[in-house]
Amino acid sequence: MKIHPVPVIAIDGPSASGKGTIAQRVANELNYHYLDSGALYRLVALKAMQCHTDLTDQTTLATMATQLDVVFAAGTVRLEGTIVADAIRTEQCGILASKIAAYPPVRDALLSRQHAFRLPPGLVTDGRDMGSVVFPDATLKIFLTASAEVRAERRYKQLKEKGISATIPDLLQDIQKRDARDRNRSVAPLQQNSDARILDTTSLSVIQVLNKVIAWYTEVCASK
């Protein structure tokens, strides 16, 4: 495999495992670019809801993904000029995004967009298949996980802080369903690569996880 000059740290894992928080913190620490791959699927889902698109029409959804007018800048997300950072984080949008992400045409349509984020000095990205499919040559691959119960509690706190109503039992059920859907989809299923380092965050703080990832990356870079 040809070695790409721009390093990538790929952080994969199930929903609400803390991937986004950690990836952003690592990117800030290293002054690298950051890609939230899940946001791209959530944006397609949001656009589909706005247009009342048939969510089983894979061809239309793929076209929508290709033509998506989105800008990631200054810590926020704009869809066709409108800030949608909160809108794409609703549970409804997340559930629809998980379903749409199982469609091969949509995944193919978004692949080049994801590759375009690989710019100097480096990239930190999180998702379900960043290390297995999108960036198989990533410098460091991490599979971040936590118990479903802890992930439901974390998601509950996030939603509560945003003033969004939710219950832990309902969130736990949604997370378990999403896990099953992500693991069993035919294209790019959620899985731990043999060359990925697993990190269970169930009993760890954000700082502890951040320090571990930075330490692993330093170790990998020193060995090259």
pLDDT digits (tens, 9 = 90+) for 41-75: 999 999 999 999 999 999 999 999 999 988 887 67
- Tally the domains of the chain: 1
**Residue 76 among known ligand-binding residues:** no
CATH number, domain containing residue 126: 3.40.50.300
Residue 3 lies inside a defined structural domain of this protein: no
Residue 40, helix vs strand vs coil = helix
**Residue 13 among known ligand-binding residues:** yes
Residue 151 lies inside a defined structural domain of this protein: yes
What is the rounded distance in angstroms from the CA atom of residue 136 to the CA atom of residue 117? 15
Best CA proximity match to 19, nearest among 209, 167, 192 = 209
Residue 63 lies inside a defined structural domain of this protein: yes
Q: What is the pLDDT of residue 3?
A: 65
What tokens does 45 get?
């889902």
**Residue 194 among known ligand-binding residues:** no
**Residue 38 among known ligand-binding residues:** no
pTM for this model (two decimals): 0.85
Residues of the chain with pLDDT under 70: 1-3, 74, 186-188
Residue 207 lies inside a defined structural domain of this protein: yes
To which residue do tokens 């960036």 refer?
A: 135
Identify the DSSP state of 133: I
**Residue 20 among known ligand-binding residues:** yes
**Residue 21 among known ligand-binding residues:** yes
Termini Cα distance of the chain? 15
